[in-house]
Amino acid sequence: MRRKGMMALALSFALLAGCGSVQKETVEEGKNSVQERDIPEGNAQEETTQKESALKENALKESTDNYALADTAAGVTEDIETLETQEVSRQEPDLAEEPQEEAETPIDWTTADHDVNGRNLPIYCVETQEKKVALTFDAAWGNEDTEKILKTLESHGLHVTFFMTGGWVERYPEDVKAILAAGHDLGNHSENHKNMSQLSEEEKKEEIRKVHDQVKDLTGYEMFLFRPPYGDYDNATVDAVKDCGYYPIQWDVDSLDWQNQGVDSILKTVTGHKNLGNGSIILCHNGAEYTAEALDALITALEEQGYTIVPLSELLYKDHYHLNHEGRQIQDQG
């Protein structure tokens, strides 16, 4: 099963130590984070689904307003990853056994601790001694730049993670297949791009399950990474994500590409970000105006700083980990 293979791969690559530094802030009781915890910038930037290019400007404005509201709620004051069937030599054809697919191993959440002083946190970054970062793309707008993004990633020999809404999957099924065929992670970004903290427990799970089933029916791929729209979550959201067999994912470096400020802005924002470090998770979007154009230079700049870009399935620890007050995933010792 693909998901199991990706998870096993995640374990084999995971090592200990350091992640980029993050800013400190106090958060109200019951909100996205713990009291007096350091939170990476950008708890609330995301995209609004749109169907027609003529509506894109208004949709982007609505998305920006949602980010601002979520930033205010969080108290944020700054920018915030064949089985090749081996032919059996058959002396007795009728006796040859067909290859059996190995049963999927469920995530052992008893060894994965997301509770930090009473707050359930998603994973913002990963502690590792290796200079690895994960590049991620949220897909909820159009697909005009998807082909260019995929070609740029291929030219660099890189794999990344795409988080997709149900609407995007429905509108662009061939793009979903192309992303998977190119070796990238498929991630879940909810069915309808709603604020997860405002939904009931069943509604939260429905937002996750619908996209999961849709992608599985389309590709056979079992998704296991979930990023909440707008970066909005509460304790119940993290619980619902885990109940659905997913790892809850945020980011600690926001490219701010959704602001459409140009190529240079994206490059400076990411490469000069105070949180950028080993194990960082970088947020980008396809469908933003300058992201595809900036991608080649961004990859080159990160590599010049010594970073290796990997998909989240290679960066995360599968189990036996805990999170600190920064949302940093740390592998347990012993």
- Chain segment 86-105, per-residue pLDDT in tens: 333 333 334 333 333 333 45
Half-sphere exposure of 276 (CA within 13 A, CB side): 21
- What is the domain range of residue 71? 2-79+116-331
User: What is the C-alpha to C-alpha distance for residues 240 and 67, in angstroms, rounded to an integer?
Assistant: 22
- Answer yes or no: 285 catalytic: yes
pLDDT in tens, 237-254: 999 999 999 999 999 999
Question: Of 159, 193, 212, 285, which is the active-site residue?
Answer: 285
User: What is the C-alpha to C-alpha distance for residues 268 and 253, in angstroms, rounded to an integer?
Assistant: 12
Position 230 in a domain = yes
Question: Of 38, 138, 145, 185, which is the active-site residue?
Answer: 138
Position 103 in a domain = no
Positive or negative CA dihedral for 267, 273, 276, 281?
Answer: negative
The residue written with tokens 């599985």 in the block is: 216
The torsion defined by the Cα of 130, 123, 163 and 212, in degrees rounded to 10, comes to 120
E-strand ranges in 62-131 read: 112-113, 115-116, 119-120, 125-126
Distance of CA 305 to the CA centre of its chain: 22
Q: Encoding tokens for residue 170?
A: 């429905």
Positive or negative CA dihedral for 178, 180, 182, 184?
Answer: positive
Q: Residue 319 has what pLDDT?
A: 94
- Answer yes or no: 213 catalytic: no
DSSP run (H or E) holding 320: none
pLDDT in tens, 172-188: 999 999 999 999 999 99
Tell me the pLDDT band of 37, cut-offs 50, 70 and 90. Answer: very low
Encoded amino acid at 208, one letter? I
* Alpha-carbon distances, residue 1 vs 102, 106, 178, 189, 226 (angstroms): 7, 12, 19, 21, 19
User: Which of 207, 217, 206 is CA-nearest to residue 163?
Assistant: 207
Position 206 in a domain = yes
Position 101 in a domain = no
Position 256 in a domain = yes
Q: Residue 109 has what pLDDT?
A: 83
Q: First-to-last CA distance in the chain?
A: 29
Position 290 in a domain = yes
CATH no. for residue 284?
Answer: 3.20.20.370
DSSP run (H or E) holding 70: helix 56-74
Lowest-confidence range among 66-80, 125-139, 158-172, 222-236?
66-80
User: What is the C-alpha to C-alpha distance for residues 132 and 130, in angstroms, rounded to an integer?
Assistant: 6
User: What is the C-alpha to C-alpha distance for residues 211 and 224, in angstroms, rounded to an integer?
Assistant: 11
Position 16 in a domain = yes
pTM: 0.74
Burial class (CB in 10 A: 0-12, 13-18, 19+), 61: exposed
Positive or negative CA dihedral for 201, 202, 207, 210?
Answer: positive
Position 95 in a domain = no
Count of domains observed in the chain: 1
- Across 107-112, average pLDDT: 85
